[in-house]
């Protein structure tokens, strides 16, 4: 699994790598949070399971942040390619 596999960038490849790492980390954190919440809710009491909810929320927020970064990189790459096409077609 490679997050944002359709996004490519020539100028911001490091930023895209950071975004992919953050998305993978958030996905693993989400699995950990949901698993710990379910495990605790079945083996212990429900109030103890609620303590893992912030982990789930943070993982979703990290994924949203990584997605916003990927969208910005994608927009930049689209604009760069559009400029390259315009130069080749003699519009600029």
Confidence of residue 91 (pLDDT cuts 50, 70, 90): confident
Model pLDDT, residue 65? 95
CB-facing half-sphere around the CA of 72: CA atoms within 13 A: 12
Model pLDDT, residue 33? 95
Q: How far apart are CA 79 and CA 92, in angstroms?
A: 14
Confidence of residue 10 (pLDDT cuts 50, 70, 90): confident
Q: For residue 89, how far is the Cα from the chain centroid?
A: 35
Give the model confidence (pLDDT) of 36-59 as tens digits.
999 999 998 888 888 999 999 999
Q: Which of 19-23, 60-64, 78-82 has the lowest mean pLDDT?
A: 78-82
Model pLDDT, residue 1? 64
């Amino acid at each position: 699994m490679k997050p944002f596999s359709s996004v490519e960038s020539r100028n911001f490849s490091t930023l895209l790598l950071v975004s992919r790492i953050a998305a993978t980390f958030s996905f693993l954190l989400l699995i950990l949070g949901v698993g710990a919440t379910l495990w605790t809710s079945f083996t212990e009491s429900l109030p103890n399971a609620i303590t893992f909810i912030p982990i789930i929320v943070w993982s979703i927020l990290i994924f949203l942040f990584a997605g916003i970064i990927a969208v910005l990189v994608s927009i930049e790459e689209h604009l760069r390619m559009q400029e390259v096409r315009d130069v080749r077609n003699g519009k600029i």
